[in-house]
Amino acid sequence: MSVKALGDDDPLVLGPFRLLAVLGQGGMGRVYLGRRLANFPEDSEASAQYFLAAQEDTSADTLVAVKVIKPDSFAGDAHESAEVKRARFLQEVTHLQSVIGPRVPAFQGADPDGGLPWLAIDYIHGPNLSRLVHSRGKPFNVVQAAALGLAMTEALQCMHEAEVLHRDLKPANVVLGPQGPVVVDFGLAVLADRKMDQAITATGTAIGTVAYMPLEQYLDTKHVSKAADVYSLAATLFFASAGRPPYPHGPSSVEPPAWHGVPALMRAVLEPVLVPDAETRPNLMQVRDMLLELLVGQGVGEIAAAADLVAVVEASGLVPDLSAFLDDGGDDALAVPVGQEGGESDPWSGDDELFAQLFGANVSESPLPTAPNGYTPTLLDPVPTPTVVDPDGQLSNGSTGDGSTTSYPLAPADPGPQPSGAPPAHAGAGAGSEAEVPSAALRAAKRLRKAYARKASF
């Protein structure tokens, strides 16, 4: 991952977060490294406005990955209204808030209704699985792959217990941080019970990455179960073991995967899962048990296997150095973003050509394979993971029905110090009582809501 300094067109502040660097960009937006402003008011109104997560340890400064969505992404079109697109983003925020566990990034805040929509999660400081395997030039051994699989089953268990499906689990969405693997990108999640008043994805839609999705998802994303995530888990472990996906061009109902390169012990775990019939697949806990048995057979404990995997990441040289972006001299001057004289500033308005440059689509030109029933998914605006282009599968992020897309990838991340505190309250001139005048904290919050970025000339 190439971390870059902010440019003149980048905002300095979004809601309560100071932006420090650019982590990546794609067809739908940019991802920034950020952290909570030291002097942002912690009143209930501000927390509600930005869905802010409570700061458990105010002595530390948590680094966050802030995903900013290009405003044009929410414009209405022939397939979908702007309101429905906003509803999708709000649904993603709800999903992120509901899933809590050590193998998923913590939700930190979001602004679904702002002129510049964004969401923030913990930054996981490390490479994704796709980049790690390709950069090493060799796949994982069975112990490392088993440790990876156990971490992924833990992440999926947290999601499934919250009645959320991932639906785009793949190597690019598994980040190997200092505490082990973390599963990111819930942008394609749906409620597992698929209640009609909650699940927005339309029937006849294929969303995800074809090289890692099961046949039932390829045919119809909406009507899938937790078994689809279990299949994608196995397909991701296949990649970790062989350096390639089981079905590079999409799932097959008749052809088995090419197993060459996959160790026999790992094949015994994956073969019952990588089948077209969802009803016959082992469930998540059965896969976990098989991985544990594999480690026992190798005489390796779960903790030792996890440590082996962390050592592989540390030796890879792929963990980015953030030191140049963290010594910024404090946040006090940024309580009100610069460039606010004369009214609201919006660096995202104006030049369409600039947007084409900054948010150029990165989409494969290769046609998608036709499914057995003749249905071919449509390629819409893709959202690459903000590290490298995912080389492991062809992105199918679209619809033949309503043209919808719900993918909002997020960048890998890592914890750091979280300053706290709020500006001192004071009475305004001529105030008769505290109740007659907004507190300094509320006034600061209102200024922050209006001011997302410094002015930029295009």
- Spot the catalytic one: 9, 122, 168, 331: 168
For the segment 352-360, the average pLDDT, to the nearest whole number, is: 39
Q: What is the pLDDT of residue 132?
A: 96
Task: Report whether 359 contacts 70 (CB < 8 A).
Answer: yes
Considering only 125-134, 138-147, 347-356, which range has the smallest mean pLDDT?
A: 347-356
Of 89, 127, 131, 124, the C-alpha closest to 104 is: 124
Phi, psi for residue 181 in degrees, rounded to 5: -70, 145
**Residue 415 to residues 60, 61, 377: CA-CA distances in angstroms?**
8, 7, 38
- Where is pLDDT greater, at 158 or 80? 158
For the chain, the domains span 13-450
Residue 301 has pLDDT above 60, yes or no: yes
Of 45, 70, 61, 8, the C-alpha closest to 382 is: 70
Considering only 5-19, 272-286, 340-354, which range has the smallest mean pLDDT?
A: 340-354
Considering only 142-151, 162-171, 319-328, 417-426, which range has the smallest mean pLDDT?
A: 417-426
Helix axes 129-136, 226-242, angle to 10 degrees: 20
Residue 167 has pLDDT above 70, yes or no: yes
Residue 353 has pLDDT above 90, yes or no: no
Of 316, 68, 29, the C-alpha closest to 175 is: 316
Of 339, 449, 421, the C-alpha closest to 16 is: 449
End-to-end CA separation in angstroms for the chain: 27
196 pLDDT band, cuts 50/70/90, is very low
Per CATH, domain 13-450 is 1.10.3720.10:
no
Q: What is the pLDDT of residue 13?
A: 92
User: How many CB atoms are located within 10 Å of the residue 240 CB?
Assistant: 25
For the segment 293-303, the average pLDDT, to the nearest whole number, is: 96
Q: What is the pLDDT of residue 253?
A: 86
For the segment 385-389, the average pLDDT, to the nearest whole number, is: 38
Task: Report whether 100 contacts 158 (CB < 8 A).
Answer: yes
Q: What is the pLDDT of residue 74?
A: 72
**pLDDT tens digits for 198-220?**
444 444 455 678 999 999 998 88
For the segment 30-43, the average pLDDT, to the nearest whole number, is: 84
Of 279, 278, 284, 282, the C-alpha closest to 216 is: 278
Let me know if 168 is a catalytic residue. Answer: yes
Task: Report whether 249 contacts 369 (CB < 8 A).
Answer: yes
- Where is pLDDT greater, at 302 or 359? 302
**pLDDT tens digits for 92-142?**
777 778 888 999 998 898 888 877 888 899 999 999 999 999 999 999 999
Of 166, 169, 309, the C-alpha closest to 236 is: 169
Q: What is the pLDDT of residue 206?
A: 57
User: What would you measure as the largest C-alpha separation in the chain, in angstroms?
Assistant: 80
E strand or H helix at 270: helix 264-270
Structure tokens at 10: 């980048």
Averaged pLDDT score across all residues of the chain: 73
Interatomic CA distance for residues 162 and 164, integer angstroms? 5
Q: What is the pLDDT of residue 40?
A: 79
Q: What is the pLDDT of residue 186?
A: 63
Q: What is the pLDDT of residue 326?
A: 84
For the segment 295-320, the average pLDDT, to the nearest whole number, is: 95
User: How many CB atoms are located within 10 Å of the residue 199 CB?
Assistant: 16
**pLDDT tens digits for 233-253?**
999 999 999 999 999 998 888
Q: What is the pLDDT of residue 77?
A: 73
